[in-house]
Amino acid sequence: MSSDIRSVLKQLDVKELYEIAKFKKINIPRNWSRTLIVELLALNVSTQDIRNFGTKPLEKRIESRDVSAIIVKDLVKQFEDVTAVDSLNLEIKQGELFSLLGPNGAGKTTTINILSGILKPTKGTAIIAGFDVTKNLEEIKTVIGVCPQEAAVFKFLNARENIELFGNLHGIPKKELEERTDTFLELLGLAEASKRMAKGYSGGMLRKLNLIIALISDPKIAFLDEPTVGMDPRARRKTWEFIGSLKDQNKTIVLTTHYIEEAEALSDRVGIIDYGKLIELGTPQELMEKYETKNLEQVFLKITGRRILEGI
Amino acid sequence: MALQSLVALIKMELKKFIRQPADLFLNLLFPAVLTIVFIFAFADPELGMSINSVVPGLIVYAVIFVIMTIAQSFSTERQEGLLKRLNTTPMTSGEFMGSQIITHMLISFLQVIVVFTLAFLLGFRPDSGIQGIFLALPVTAIFSLSSVGLGLITATVSKTPEAATGISFVFILPQMFFGTFIPITSTTQQIAKFIPSYYLLDALKTIFEGDWMNTNIFLDLGVISIVSISVVIIGILLFEKYGSA
């Protein structure tokens, strides 16, 4: 029974866990991790309690993992003579960590830019959390977080000021924003440098700050475009762990990366894109079995290498 | 318009202004130095100029340099991907442009105060008394809208911050030569009538003379308002359509 309730609780995000605790008059210290909160609630709360509590029916909440967070329909992006995205069709489930892989210039960033509303598609569309990118950009901006390829941070602001600026643009209440900022700075190891202006940061630190800004609004869907480029191996591993932990919060993550082992370790599914077309799709395991390789990197090289040799 | 976003953006812009030495120099130190140099060099009755005739030009001079600050700032933010990133947040373009306008109006206020204070210490005594400065502040702030608009137009056509610096002079130089302290002849006056700074200069001179009932003030204020609002609207539209990505 306790393991049932635990699995139910794991589907909820931290805010909801705190709301349930408040509803059941259980006091949870502010600095507790999500795992500890789940454990405490599992001992004190029944499935019925959660059903009684929820304004959103719990079954629906859990069923929502099978709902598509992103649906891409016949998406095309043309830049003069170049077709950067060519009739792309794709479906990404809620709570899924999906990696988009491909060589340089394959169309990964253009795809992310369209999905996040930065670029308009030439043809086709995409539905993000139920909203159409060609019609409902304002709504989409409230549910997404974007970590761009370049470290787009204000260099004359310190890390805390940068994070709080973007948090304010998302309308997060002051106290909540301060708490979230502290948590993220601590988690990604930027707490000590948080009062130094970002122009003095190393490449890796800027990348971490770039990632925190993308996640400060607690988005349902996060687009992470090569988030670990320029980080040393240790920082990269730590960031992978952090990105992996976002899956527990039922967030949908679309990741592009050149570190294939990163995609292999983190992804539920992988899409390989080249010349703007989706040429392979599946779980890392499925792709490795299909191409009879030991790792995803070999799959990637087999697919994209062959296409280059064949001049496709 | 969300107040929380607007306040956050204004705070960010002001921090940028304070923490970037180049902006501080161009917008505050440069007008301050010019005020001292010009008053000592040109405010000489033998040259046909008094302190009272130099100060309005110095105020105009300071405000037109906002064109360069804005153009550089927008081009840099575009180059660094910051404008794209801001565009992925729920912030509206009204909040963003509103924050730019309010920040640069505040900076113009500061510029007027710096020029006026230094000039006062060096002997500037407008006939209008202290009331003149209170009237000069809002008139200059309205004019600063045209500098914001011209800065946005410059950023739209400039691919890099370096290009923005050069191109901004297309708008700065004519205003400098036909609408500041440089004497205008009957010939150049015909050209100057097409330059917005000419009307600010004329309005400030009349204000400092204490000639409140002079109908020229209202004419100048009308031209400044219409031109400034039109230019800022054109700047915003052009920048949003062609310059923000």
Grouping H, G, I as helix, E, B as strand and the rest as coil, residue A270 is: strand
Grouping H, G, I as helix, E, B as strand and the rest as coil, residue B211 is: coil
Residues 6+ apart with CB under 8 A from B228: B142, B143, B144, B145, B146, B149, B196
Q: What is the pLDDT of residue A55?
A: 47
Q: What is the pLDDT of residue A310?
A: 57
Find, among B88, B104, B99, B80, the residue nearest to B17 by Cα.
Answer: B104
User: How does the average pLDDT of chain A come out, rounded?
Assistant: 86
CB of A287 within 8 A of CB of A103?
A: no
- Report the alpha-carbon angle B83-B86-B89, nearest 5: 155
Element (H, E) at A92: strand A82-93
**Percentage of chain A exceeding pLDDT 70:** 91
Nearest to A157 among B12, B80, B245 (CB): B12
Contacts of B174-179 spanning 24+ positions with Cβ under 8 A:
B175/B60, B175/B64, B176/B61, B176/B64, B179/B60, B179/B64
Find, among B144, B200, B163, B171, the residue nearest to B78 by Cα.
Answer: B163
- Phi, psi of A30, rounded to the nearest 5 degrees: -60, -30
Residues 6+ apart with CB under 8 A from A306: none
Count of domains forming chain B? 1
Q: Do A169 and B15 touch (CB under 8 A)?
A: no
Below-50 pLDDT ranges, chain B: none
pLDDT digits (tens, 9 = 90+) for A171-198: 999 999 999 999 999 988 899 999 999 9
Element (H, E) at A174: helix A174-187
CB of A128 within 8 A of CB of A220?
A: no
Write down the CATH number for the domain with range A67-310: 3.40.50.300
pLDDT above 60 (res A2): no
pLDDT band at A71 (very low <50, low <70, confident <90, very high): very high
Q: State whether residue B91 sits within 8 Å of chain A by CB.
A: yes
Q: Do A170 and B90 touch (CB under 8 A)?
A: yes
State how far the Cα of A228 lies from the Cα of A262, in Å rounded to an integer. Answer: 9
Mean pLDDT of A260-270: 89
Q: What is the pTM of this model?
A: 0.80
Q: State whether residue B245 sits within 8 Å of chain A by CB.
A: yes
- Exposure string of B131-162, with b = 16+ CB inside 10 Å and e = fewer, is ebbebbbebbbbbbbbbbbbbbbbbbbbeebe
Nearest to A141 among B7, B12, B88 (CB): B88
Residues 11-70, chain B: which have Cβ within 8 Å of A?
A: 11-12, 15-16, 19-20
DSSP string, B164-188: HHHHHHHHHHHHHHHHSSS---HHH
User: Position of tokens 């000419």?
Assistant: B198
pLDDT digits (tens, 9 = 90+) for A101-144: 998 889 999 999 999 999 999 999 999 988 999 988 889 999 99
Q: ipTM of the predicted structure?
A: 0.84
- Phi, psi of B20, rounded to the nearest 5 degrees: -100, 110
State how far the Cα of B210 lies from the Cα of B201, in Å rounded to an integer. Answer: 14
- Amino acid present at B214: N
Give residue B36's domain range. Answer: 3-243
- Residue in B closest to A215 by C-alpha: B89
- The residues spanned by each domain of chain A are 2-65, 67-310
